[in-house]
Structure 1
Amino acid sequence: MSRLRDVLDKLEVRPSRRANKCQFNKNHKIPKGELWLIVTPRGPTARDYGYCTECGITMLEAAQEHLAHHLALLRDEGLG
């Protein structure tokens, strides 16, 4: 069996090394040492995008719902 392909971008949660601004909402500040979500899209010019805890949670919850929807579709189709 061939190796499974990861369909998600690289995700990481880590403390901020310096003060930053959220990439989703520039009004959200990320103080040094606070946890934030780092997303690195695939591609030759991949760069990190950082999101505050509030926006990161919102994004991951939306992604989880999206994945659950598609998983349910595949499971329902597979049974029929």
Structure 2
Amino acid sequence: MDKKVSNIIVHFRTFEMTLNTVRKIMQWTSGIEYEIILVDNHSEDGSIVRLEGELAVYIKRQLVRVLCISQNRGFPPSRIKCSD
């Protein structure tokens, strides 16, 4: 139980899919310490604001972290942002 797992989810205008993914991780993950890092790849459709609202309790409990990138550079740079 002392090992921590980071689940990195790169998000770009996929509100429903991202929300369902976060919920499934929480539903099926037990017995380990984990976090979910949600990286928004510069969505301009309001979906990240909606996700922050839906996940506010988990963000407050530090189970979910949200990182926003100022421009869409694709998947690999979004993952690299998590190591900053």
Higher Cα Rg, which structure: 1
What TM-score comes out, normalization by structure 2 length? 0.27
Bigger helix fraction: 2
What TM-score comes out, normalization by structure 1 length? 0.28
